[in-house]
Amino acid sequence: MCDVLTSVAAGHDDVELTVLVGNMERGAEAVARCDQSRYDVIISRGASADGSCMVSYAADSHMLFGELYFHKAADWKAGSMLPIIEWDTYKPLGSIAQVAHTYQTVGNMNEHQLIIGETTWGGREEQVNADGIMDYGSLIYVTLQRARTAREAIETIVALANEYGYPSEGETFSIADTQEAWVMDLVGKGEEKGIVWVARRIPDGYICAHANQARITTFPQDDPDNCLFAPDVISYARSQGWYEGDDADFSFRDAYNPLDFGGARACDARAWSAFNILCDGIFTYMDADGREVSAPASDWLDYAMGYDLQGEMPLFVKPSRKITVKDVADVMRDHYEGTPMDMTQDIGAGGNALPYRWRPMNFTVDGKTYVNERAIATQQTGFWFVGQARGWLPDEIGSLIWFGCDDAATSYLTPVYVNTTEVPECFRVGNGDMLHYSPTSAFWMCNRVANACYKMYDRMAPFVREVADRFENDQMFSKVKENDDKLLKVFKPGKKGALRKVRKALTRYSVDTAQEQFATWAKLEETLLVKFIDGNVKAQEEDGSFSHSEYNEGTPKGLQYGGYNDLWKKVVAQEHGSVIESK
């Protein structure tokens, strides 16, 4: 949970919120946890434009390197053991029994079109099982190697955590296959091995989003087609003194991850923002009586901003239009633009509307603590993706992950077929890390582009975004479909050599597309240096060449100065005008 002690927000000068925490150390830890946080959007099959289920995910961490994990399918001898290494720390946790056969995985998706993402929400400190073996990252990646469907994944996650113990904090998992999409909240039971959990199927035609705050409150307890839960999820809370009411009124969130200002402002606000964008400002949802109703997104704005924590935001909403993979990718680039939390609109954005704030996530002035907003897009993303389970295609072709590195707002997604026989060199595990630069790593190249943009964001980021949009639109609406059709012509189940040819072709497409776009990004970084050096903006011709004088090809023509926005000028004049005023 991301607790913040005190906040006064712009536009709400008469409202001061103080959130009580156990002690200052707990508050600092909670803010730090949110800073190392994740973000997911889940799209059901009926809500997507092409009938695919989708999960988007941003692995946000100051210490997580952007690379594409790759494990080939394998057969294992009886008695084989699998070492478990904690995902966040690389700490060895122990070993578990290996299964006879494991499926191929690329990133957070497997060969059978199963996708799993997550966000961490902490919860009560006493619920961490320090002796457990299956940390949350291992639950994801081991499950992907063992399960074929979303329901199998839920069963596998529960079985692994209950048998081997769960040493991580509270989590929300996004789980989807070609037919169903689920959201699952879970947390450990402290010294007792295992987890308490609830999983809900997202109604077809609806979407869900979560961001480091447990999202499931009350839930149907007699509908196994749409809701699954631990048999002791209520009784365990009672035994700990966290719940005393009727079973029918039990709320998972309220018992295990009570909402506070930080949970709303730094976490649920991001879910609200995704809903706001994909629903065009109108939330359509099922009320407590099962009726579909609609209300303006603004009805939950005070909730998202942490000013009114009563009630709850809908867990599922129906988008106002069918959602494309490009829509999902672009939601991951949001900075609360056009809302009271818009990070470009105060002096913290500097003179060039930078929608980021360097950490920590809060600061204190004259005894009051204020927040640095935590938007969906953030500077410390390791990698991000949109997984697409495309049920109208055979698994060998349908399983597709759109993968990217670093800040989503100034990077790109490239398609990788999960049944590939290799991953692109620019994403290969071992091609650089957080302490070792590699000129052939997409993570490092995307960081070079992003960090260049941070110095003059309102001029440079739109230039970069245009390049990313051009590539993504071409791939998402044209090129991948054309390649799918080519693969289908070769794919003949049972025909000798057909599958090998398909895998060879989709591998070449995945690798070549990624490497070509990496080269484009490397060239883009050079262009940014030349075009925007020293705060200048050099003009370009339609073919991309730089405009030059008629006398010398090395002398710029049409040079402009970057300058600063009006807000910056006003604040500087107010704060320092007596010194710099021209007399």
Q: How many whole angstroms separate alpha carbon 241 and alpha carbon 230?
A: 18
Q: How many whole angstroms separate alpha carbon 394 and alpha carbon 419?
A: 11
Q: At what angle do helices 442-453 and 498-532 cross, to 10 degrees?
A: 30
**What mean pLDDT is predicted for residues 474-485?**
98
Residue 27 is predicted with a pLDDT of 37
- DSSP state string for 107-136: TTEETTS-EEEEEEEE--GGG--TT----H
Measured CA to CA in angstroms, residue 50 lies from 179, 253, 478, 506 at distances of 13, 33, 13, 20
Average pLDDT of the chain to the nearest whole number: 93
State the DSSP H helix or E strand holding residue 481, giving kind and residue range, or none if neither.
helix 480-490
**What mean pLDDT is predicted for residues 482-503?**
93
Q: How many whole angstroms separate alpha carbon 208 and alpha carbon 275?
A: 8
The pTM score is 0.93
Residue 35 is predicted with a pLDDT of 54
Question: Residues near 319 by Cβ (< 8 Å), separated by ≥ 6?
Answer: 47, 207, 278, 279
- 303 phi/psi in degrees, rounded to 5: -65, -50
Question: Residues near 71 by Cβ (< 8 Å), separated by ≥ 6?
Answer: 102, 104, 105, 141, 145
* Band (3; pLDDT cuts 50, 70, 90): very low
128 conformational bin, left if phi > 0, alpha if psi -120 to 50, beta if neither: beta
Whether 21 has a pLDDT exceeding 60, the answer reads: no
CA 262 to chain centre: 18
**What mean pLDDT is predicted for residues 227-243?**
98
Measured CA to CA in angstroms, residue 22 lies from 4, 30, 124 at distances of 12, 11, 11
Whether 158 has a pLDDT exceeding 80, the answer reads: yes
DSSP state of 352: G
* Band (38; pLDDT cuts 50, 70, 90): confident
Contact 350, 568 (CB under 8 A): yes
Residue 494 is predicted with a pLDDT of 81
**What mean pLDDT is predicted for residues 473-492?**
97
369-386: per-residue pLDDT in tens? 999 999 999 999 999 999
CA atoms within 13 A on the CB side of 149: 7
377-423: per-residue pLDDT in tens? 999 999 999 999 999 999 999 999 999 999 999 999 999 999 999 99
Report CA dihedral (441, 442, 444, 446) to the nearest 10 degrees.
160
Contact 76, 100 (CB under 8 A): yes
Q: At what angle do helices 136-146 and 150-164 cross, to 10 degrees?
A: 130
Q: At what angle do helices 498-532 and 457-474 cross, to 10 degrees?
A: 160
Q: How many whole angstroms separate alpha carbon 113 and alpha carbon 388?
A: 8
Give the SS3 label for residue 346: coil
Read off the tokens for 130: 């320090």
520-569: per-residue pLDDT in tens? 999 999 999 999 999 999 999 999 999 999 999 999 999 999 999 999 99
Whether 29 has a pLDDT exceeding 60, the answer reads: no
Percent of the chain with pLDDT over 90: 91
Residue 68 is predicted with a pLDDT of 98
Of the candidates 5, 2, 3, which has an alpha carbon nearest to the alpha carbon of residue 364? 5
* Band (311; pLDDT cuts 50, 70, 90): confident
**What mean pLDDT is predicted for residues 56-67?**
96
* Band (31; pLDDT cuts 50, 70, 90): very low
CA atoms within 13 A on the CB side of 276: 22
264-289: per-residue pLDDT in tens? 999 999 999 999 999 999 999 999 89
Q: What number of other Cβ atoms are within 10 A of residue 530's Cβ?
A: 12
Q: How many whole angstroms separate alpha carbon 297 and alpha carbon 275?
A: 8
CA angle 186, 191, 192 (to 5 degrees): 65
Residue 18 is predicted with a pLDDT of 27
131-153: per-residue pLDDT in tens? 999 999 999 999 999 999 999 99
Contact 201, 220 (CB under 8 A): no
Report CA dihedral (90, 95, 99, 104) to the nearest 10 degrees.
10
Lowest-confidence segment of 154-168, 245-259, 492-506 by average pLDDT: 492-506
